[in-house]
Structure formats: structure tokens, C-alpha cells
Amino acid sequence: MRILVTGGAGFIGSNFVNATVRERPDVQVTVLDALTYAGSLSSLSAVRESIDFVEGDITDVDLVDALVAESDAVVHFAAESHNDNSLADPWPFLQTNVSGTYALLQAVRKHDVRYHHISTDEVYGDLALDDPAKFTEHTPYNPSSPYSSTKAASDMLVRAWIRSFGVRATLSNCSNNYGPYQHVEKFIPRQITNILNGVRPKLYGAGKNVRDWIHVEDHNSAVWRILESGETGRTYLIGADGELDNLSVVRMILELMGKDPDDFDHVTDRAGHDLRYAIDSSTLRTELGWEPRYTDFRQGLQATIDWYQDNHTWWETEKHDVEVRYAAQGA
């Protein structure tokens, strides 16, 4: 089987490629990645000899067409992925998330190639803090940010290409991932690397916002399960029942790193900040028999802290640029 992985040098994509090469010797992987600020070839160093790597943009229709023509399946991770960046400059989000997905859909349609679309729970908007409800496959789309609205738009394109052109596609909407190789702009790695640099963690607002954390390896095992056993045309929600408010996460990171749990700063809140995300993944569990393996968040967080501690060179350069950008926003 030959699979094309877009965004394979990013956080989730590189973990997917590393796991695939490790666990599935029968799969030949080609990565297509533009190596934006968020992509790094060093995340693929362990498997570099076993894969084909193409540096290129998913909006390049000729390149995408040629690569899709040679593939049995496409797993589409590539995206502009950070909400704060989408507030500062939405345009790259429109180009990559919407036009890039369009280019891929046209190519899989033309060559009749199986397609899996990676999306987010943020397309559903947010839930109230005191609402026991969770997102399901039937929750109406209601995105809040430029990032989530472009992800919602890309999901809509996939659904239309399934219905109108019979494209053999599945979609998955996953909750917040954590684990190794996550860019230091994101919440958990930002706080870990702040502490490693002797800087206090930065919490947006009061820290009451809730995210539903899942280890990246569990997200990727679900993607493989859907790719192999999912029904085309369907959307699957991926989550591991990991709801926690941001304040608790910051305090846990500080404690695990041997610091005073109150040793953090409150900074300017994100505009339009979604309150709570929560995923009901029962369909994936009952129909496809998937279960997460990382059920102890504290343990997964400790392993993630250890990874950042042991891999300074992976994040040091980006860290400086990211903090300059945050400082300009008062965050």
C-alpha cells in the first residue's frame, strides 16, 4: 500500500509517519509538506531513509495531482493550525485549509483514490462550562475563529465531493492533542518550555476554559482504524474523555516540574476564546472497536515534559520567534 501523508512534518503528521513506519512495514509512505514554520524535517529523522519526502505546497495542483496519481490512499493532515495566528493573519488559513483541501479533493476524485480528512472538534464551536453535553456527529457546525471556520469549510468541501462526485472519503474530528513534536506555540509545549527556560507559564484569562486532551498516538491509532475499517462517506469523532480546565493543566505541569503550582502569570485572553470542547467518541468505540491507550493524562504529560527536556535542540530556535510574537500581542 502506498500512502500520501500531507503535513507529515508537523506535530500529528510526523507522529503518524513515525508510527506507520515502525508498525506497518507493508506501507510505503510519501510525505508532502511545505515546511512552513510549523514543519520540521528533524521530526522525521528516525524514518528519513524509509520514506519519500517531497517539499511542496498542497495548493500546487499539478504537484498534488502527480503525487495522488501514484497513491492508494491520502491522509490529509496539512493545515495552518494555530488559532492565535489565525486572529493575527487569516489569509494563509484560507489558502492552505480551503484551497489546499480543494486541490486534494480534485486529485482524489480524478484518480479515484481513498481519502481521509483530518479535522477538529472546533468546527462545532464551543459548549457552556456547566453543560453536560458533548459534541456528537450530529452537532451542527458553528465555528468561532478564522482557523476553525476554515477547517469547517474544508470539511464541507469533503462532504460535497462525497455526495456530488462519489469520492471515497472519511472524515475525523478530534479533540486537543498533546505529545512529542508539538510546536512550542501551542499551550502545553509553550508552558513546559517556558519553565525549562526559567520563564513563568502564561495562562489566558482566568484559565476556566476546558479542553478535551488526547495523546497524539491515540489520535493516530484511531485514524488507522478509520482508514482500514471506516465506512466511506462517514464522519468519526475521536476523543479520550480527557476534559480538564487550563488552570488545572498549568498547575499540573508546574507541579510535575518541581515548581510552585501558583508560579504562573495571567495574560490577555484570546479574542473569541472558545469555552469548552468535549467529544463523545462512542460511535468509534462501539462500531470500530477503538480504545485509547493513554488513559492517564498525568503520566502522558510527564512523558511529554521528559521529551521536551531531552530534546532542547528540536525546539530552541522556534521558541525565540514564538515568544517575540506573543510578547507583541501582550500574551
Residues that bind ligand TDX (CB under 6 A): 81-83, 120, 122, 176, 186-187, 190, 202-204, 209, 211, 246, 270
**Which of ligand NAD, ligand TDX, none does residue 304 bind (CB under 5 to 8 Å by kind)?**
none
Instruction: Dig out the grid coordinates for 115 from the structure.
Output: 481519502
Taking the complex as a whole, the smallest distance from the CB of residue 58 to ligand NAD amounts, in Å, to: 4
Measured between alpha carbons, how far is 302 from 115 in angstroms, rounded to an integer?
35
Taking the complex as a whole, the smallest distance from the CB of residue 198 to ligand NAD amounts, in Å, to: 26
Measured between alpha carbons, how far is 83 from 160 in angstroms, rounded to an integer?
25
Give Cβ neighbours of residue 330 (< 8 Å, ≥ 6 apart).
Answer: 267, 268
The amino acid at residue 288 is: L
**Which of ligand NAD, ligand TDX, none does residue 211 bind (CB under 5 to 8 Å by kind)?**
ligand TDX
H/E segment holding residue 3 = strand 2-6
Q: Which residue is nearest to ligand TDX (CB)?
A: 120
Taking the complex as a whole, the smallest distance from the CB of residue 314 to ligand TDX amounts, in Å, to: 18
**Which of ligand NAD, ligand TDX, none does residue 16 bind (CB under 5 to 8 Å by kind)?**
none
Measured between alpha carbons, how far is 298 from 184 in angstroms, rounded to an integer?
19
Question: Judged by CB, which is closer to ligand TDX: 117, or 186?
Answer: 186
Residue with cell 530556535: 317
Q: Is 122 a catalytic residue?
A: yes
Distances (CA, A) of 112 to 5, 68, 69, 70: 17, 9, 9, 11
Hey, is 229 helix, strand or coil? helix
Residues engaged in binding ligand NAD (CB under 6 A):
6-7, 9-13, 33-36, 38-39, 57-59, 77-81, 96, 100, 118, 120, 151, 174, 176-177, 183
**Which of ligand TDX, ligand NAD, none does residue 43 bind (CB under 5 to 8 Å by kind)?**
none
Question: Judged by CB, which is closer to ligand TDX: 103, or 279?
Answer: 279
Catalytically annotated residue among 147, 178, 236, 308: 147
Taking the complex as a whole, the smallest distance from the CB of residue 96 to ligand NAD amounts, in Å, to: 4
**Which of ligand TDX, ligand NAD, none does residue 230 bind (CB under 5 to 8 Å by kind)?**
none
The amino acid at residue 59 is: T
Question: Judged by CB, which is closer to ligand NAD: 46, or 200?
Answer: 46
Taking the complex as a whole, the smallest distance from the CB of residue 117 to ligand NAD amounts, in Å, to: 8
Q: Is 231 a catalytic residue?
A: no
Measured between alpha carbons, how far is 243 from 197 in angstroms, rounded to an integer?
28
* Residue 276 DSSP one-character state: B
Question: Judged by CB, which is closer to ligand TDX: 280, or 287?
Answer: 280
Q: Is 89 a catalytic residue?
A: no
The amino acid at residue 204 is: Y
CA dihedral 166, 143, 329, 191 (to 10 degrees): -80
Question: Judged by CB, which is closer to ligand TDX: 102, or 277?
Answer: 277
Catalytically annotated residue among 57, 80, 121, 218: 121
Measured between alpha carbons, how far is 154 from 236 in angstroms, rounded to an integer?
16
Give Cβ neighbours of residue 307 (< 8 Å, ≥ 6 apart).
Answer: 179, 180
The catalytic residues are 121-122, 147
